[in-house]
Structure 1
């Protein structure tokens, strides 16, 4: 509270003054302990021997009205005073609220200033650290550049020395190369002569072997062609034989539907597993009669398993097409 008074002396003085005014009004303004005094009558009593009763009643009525007006005036004065006191209390409450709000704003501003101070100190510390890091980086960079220059100078000196030695070696090597070239030319001449002789002999031998290989290859090709033709003919005969057996077995398993005329036939596609098991059957060329086509499919399923060859020839029977013609003998 002392801090509030120190920061807002004018508001504190106004509040104290208002409290003193209220206390004075309460002490001197209204006497609540004494009952209200009756106003002294200003009516002069006239001694009369004859009393007019109507006038007496009128006089009494005026006295009552005066008393009522005085009581009303006092009541109005009291109500106004009460309203004034209530207004003072309201203003005091508002003043306390305003002071509390000012204190709250001061605390918020203090926190903001403290936070700003912390941020400023942190920013200064960060800048100082960054500056130190920059100086260290510059120092390290200068040291690295000096080291690099020293290394570059040493490299140049070493390169100059190396070039001189290389030139000396190259001159010696050139002399040796000339001598070696001469010896090499003579050796190359002898080598080419020997190579030509060996090449001629090798070519002669190669041609003889090539002729022999061609003759043997031609003989093997004729034999392989003959064997392939014989195998193909055999496989064709076997395939036709098994197709006939399949067709016959399917025809034997066929049940003629009622009302089917003679002369109908259709082409079936059958997928088979090793051993002749029927995997699927379908009509690829119908007879024009649905009942006949369905009976042909049923006959294939009823004839399962179908006769098929073994070995590599079976691969030709995994998916076969054959004509179903129950009229064929």
Structure 2
């Protein structure tokens, strides 16, 4: 009762005034059965209305009931609010637990990706070492083959020279014998024979010079062809190395961006998009844009935000960096 009076002081005051008015009429002792004689007067009499105590009590009772209903409604509303807050706390606790489980799963997936990456890099290094050994062995084999061919050619030339010299000695010996036999007959022909011999020698000298020149040209062409093949092979090796390095850095960039990515609300598995990123030396991000979207605007914006958050990105140095000033790569957090 006191609580009702405290919450509604105006109603309490009104009820108190009504009770005091009733008591006042009772104390004055007005005789309600006898009609009073009104003395003649020019003063206007004010007609007073008798207050019914029963109605006053009913009014007070209705006020008390209204206050009780309001108090009950407030209590029910407070209990409902407390239940809603308790349910909200329970949902928040479940959400925190769910996020913790998702973080554990993400960390486990990151560890798996790191192990796979390390194994892949080791396999690439092993293949690279084996390829270098194969190329070195092939180079050594070609060098040995060229040396063998050169030695065979030298032996062939030496044998030809020996045969020519032997033939020349035989011809000279035969000529000497013939000249001795026919010295008297050949005396007249000596000048002509000498001239013929000199012409033959000059002819052989020129033929030998032409042969040596042709062999030198052939050797030069072979060396040039060999050098061109080696240059082409080195260029192919360098191009393959650059391609592997580019793929490696693109993979590192994609992995760093995925690690910096924050999963948007309502994310659906399987979404991916293609990003265009402009980089400065050192990997600073100058600009990022979506050139092929996933169909989900929130996902595309989260991918752009992940690139900016991952700044600076891993990039090579030297001339290979020119291939990373403006790159396109696929952002796929499901890999």
User: Is the pair's TM-score, using the shorter chain for normalization, greater than 0.5?
Assistant: no
Between Structure 1 and Structure 2, whose CA radius of gyration is higher?
1
Q: Into which bin does the TM-score normalised by the smaller protein fall?
A: 0.3 to 0.5
Q: What is the TM-score with the length of structure 1 in the denominator?
A: 0.37
TM score, norm. by length of structure 2: 0.37
